[in-house]
Structure 1
Amino acid sequence: MTKISILGCGWLGLPLAKALIAKGNSVNGSTTSQDKLSILKDARINPFLVTVESESVSENITVFLAESEILIIDIPPKLRTVDPSSEKKVFVEKIKNLIPFIEKSTIQKVLFVSSTSVYGDDNGLVTEETIPNPDTESGKQLVLAEKLLQENQNFKTTILRFAGLIGEDRHPVKFLAGKENIENPDAPVNLIHQNDCIGIIEAIINQSKWNEVFNAAAPFHPIREEYYTQKAAQMNLPLPNFSSEKSNIKKAISSKKIENSLNYQFKLENY
C-alpha cells in the first residue's frame, strides 16, 4: 500500500482518489470547501481543508502531507481575472509557498498536473522535446511552476501536461454550441478523457516514472469543425458555425511517449 496525498480533489482529483483507493492505496485528499469534506470522507478519502495562497498556506498542510510518499498537485491556475501586466505571479507564488512544506515532509515524489497550453499555438506536431512557448498568462505561470518543482533536489517531480479535458459532464462542444464565426475550423482537436487522465496517472505511479515530462492527448486529431459539428448533433445541441477567415493553427499534441514509455493504450471509445 502506498500513501498518497492529492492536493485538489476536484473534477479530476476526486475520481482519481477513488480509483487509487480501489487499488489498495491510502489517500489524503484536500478541498477548499467545508461542505465537500463529507463527500471526501464518504469516498474513504482522508479529508483535509487546505488552502494554498500566494501569501500563505493552511497550517494543516503539514498533517495533510504527513507519512505520504507521493504528492499529486492538481490545482488550476485560475488566472482569468488577474491583470497580465501585474508583476506578481499569483500561481507561481502559491507553488513557492508550498515547496518548503514538501521539503520538510515525507514526500519523495511529486506529480504536477499541468497543461499543453504551455506550448501556446505552435504549429505542427508537439512532443515533449518541443520548447514551451505559452501565449496565455496561465500557460506562462504553469511553465514557471513546473521549473520550480523540477529543479528541487529534495524530491522527484514528473510533469503531466493534459490537453483539453473531457468527460461525461464536461465537453468543449457545450461551450461552442450555437456560436458563430468560430476560428480555426481546420485545426486538429487535442483532447484527453477523464478516464485516460486517471489511467495515465496510475501507470506513472505503478511504473515509478519520475523525473519525466509527459504530454497527454488522445492519439487522434480530427478536424475541429467536423468533430464539434458531429458532437453537437449527437448531443442535440445547436450546431456551431465556423469561419474560414482565421485558420492558421495546426498544433497536434503527440502522446507517443506515453504510449511507448508507459505502454499505455487510450480508451478511444470515450471520445
Structure 2
Amino acid sequence: MIIGGGWLGLPLGHFLHTNGHDVLVTKTSKKGCDDLAKGGLHTLHLELGTSLSTQSENHLRDFQPDVIVGCFPPGLRSDTPSRYVENWRQVSELAVMHDVGKIIMVSTSGVYPSIAEDMVETRQIGGKNLDEKTQLLLSAEQQVIKSQVPYTILRCSGLIGPNRHPARFAKRLKSISDQAPANMVHLDDVIAVIEFVLTSGDNEIYNVTTPETVSKYQFYQRATKHYHEPIALPAPSHTQDKRIVATKLIAAGFKFKYSHIFNALDAIGTM
C-alpha cells in the first residue's frame, strides 16, 4: 500500500506493479482514484487527517497490505505543518489495526542540523536548541518507531527527476555556495531503494543520497546548462554545510543507478 500517489508514489506504484507486486495506491479525491484505476492500479480514497469511509475501510481490509509505504511530503511551508506528525500517527495506527508487516517511511535528510559535517544515521539529533522544523521531522519519525511495527526510515536528500528539474529551484535561490555539498538523489534511485528495503533492513534508518557529489554551485551550473530556459546564477557564496552520507545503505548491499550527481543530472536532460 502506497500512501500518496504523487510525484514519487505514482511511479513507485507502476514500478512495483510491473515487477509483480500487488499494489494499492491512495489518492485524496475520487477523481484521483479513478484516474489511477485507468492505469491498472488498485486505488483507495484516503485523506490523512480524516477518518476512512466504511467503503475505504472495507477495501483496505480486503486488500490486506503486507507493507505500507508513506510517500507524502512534510508540508513545512503549509499553514499547519504539525499535521505531518498527526498524519504519521494515523498511518502507524492503520498499520497496527490491519496487522501490516512493515512500514517504510520516506522521510528527509532535513532532519539533520545545518552543520558542516558528515551526517550519518547514528548521529544523535537532540538538545534544547532544536529548531521547529527538526523537532517536527523527528516527531514524525518517532510515530513510526513507537508503533512497534517493523519499519525502515529513508532519509532522502533533495529529490530530482522527471518534472522536477533542479534548474527550476535555481530561480528562487538568492545565494548558492561553492563550499556546500549538493545533497541530491534521482527518483529512479529512491524507487530502487524502496524496492530494496521491502524485504530487508527492518528497524533501520538509511540516508538516501547520491554517493558522489559536487558543490551546490557546480551542481546548479550544470543543471542550468541542461535546462531549456536560460537562468543566471548569483555570484557564489562560500558557506559550508552538511554532507549527507549513504555509506550505510551501500554497505547493506544497495547499488545506486547513478553513483555521481552529474550522471543523475544528465539522465534528466532538458525536461
Normalised to the residue count of structure 2, the TM-score between the two structures is 0.86
Match in the other structure for 1:204: 197
In 2, the alpha carbon distance for the partners of 1:161 and 1:15 equals 19
Which position in structure 2 is the counterpart of 1:79? 76
Q: Is the 8 A contact 1:221 1:252 kept in 2?
A: no
Provide the C-alpha distance between the structure 1 equivalents of 2:80 and 2:195, rounded to a whole number of angstroms. Answer: 36
1:50-129 correspondence runs (5 A): 50-53=46-49, 56-59=50-53, 60-61=56-57, 63-64=59-60, 66-82=63-79, 89-129=82-122
Q: Does 1:46 align with 2:37?
A: no
CA shift, 1:183, in A, is 4.3
Q: Give the match for residue 142 of structure 1.
A: 137
Q: Does 1:225 align with 2:201?
A: no
- Listed as ranges, the gaps of 5+ residues in structure 2 are 266-271
TM-superposed CA distance for 1:47, in Å, is 1.0
SS of residue in 1 equivalent to 2:177: coil
- Structure-1 residue corresponding to 2:5: 9
| CA deviation after TM superposition for structure 1 residue 116, in Å | 0.1
In structure 1, what residue type is equivalent to 2:190? C
Residue 157 of structure 2 contacts residue 184 of structure 2 at CA under 8 Å; is this kept in 1?
yes
Kindly indicate whether residue 252 of structure 2 is the aligned counterpart of residue 267 of structure 1: no
Residue 61 of structure 1 contacts residue 101 of structure 1 at CA under 8 Å; is this kept in 2?
no
Change (3 A) 1:181 1:40: closer
**What's the offset of the Cα at 1:181?**
4.3
After superposition, give the CA deviation of every residue in 1:219-268 in whole Å (9 maximum; x if it has no partner). Answer: 11201112211221221421211342xx3332111111111103323324
Q: Aligned in 2, Cα 1:263/1:77: closer, same or farther, shift over 3 Å?
A: closer
What is the rounded CA distance, in whole Å, between the counterparts of 1:201 and 1:120 in structure 2?
25
- 1:18 matched residue in structure 2: 14
Q: C-alpha separation between the residues in 2 aligned to 1:242 and 1:161?
A: 30
Find the aligned partners of 2:36 and 2:110 in 1 and give their Cα distance: 30
- Cα distance, 1:63–1:220 mapped onto 2, change above 3 Å: same
Q: Give RMSD over aligned pairs.
A: 2.2
Q: Which runs of 5+ in 1 are unaligned?
A: none
1:169 corresponds to which of 163, 167, 172: 163
* Partner residue in 2 for 1:182: 175
Task: State the one-letter code of the partner of 1:142.
Answer: L
Residue aligned with 1:29, SS: strand
Summarize deviations over 1:183-235 as a string: whole Å, max 9, x none: 43321100010000001111111x42211100000011201112211221221
In 2 relative to 1, CA 235–183 (structure 1 residues): closer, same or farther, beyond 3 Å?
A: closer
Amino acid at match of 1:166: I
Amino acid in structure 1 at the alignment position of 2:226? Q
The answer for the alignment partner of 2:269 in structure 1 is none
Which TM-score applies when normalising by structure 1?
A: 0.86
Equivalent-residue separation in structure 2 for 1:113 and 1:201 (angstroms): 9
Is the 1:121–1:249 Cα contact (8 Å) retained in structure 2?
no
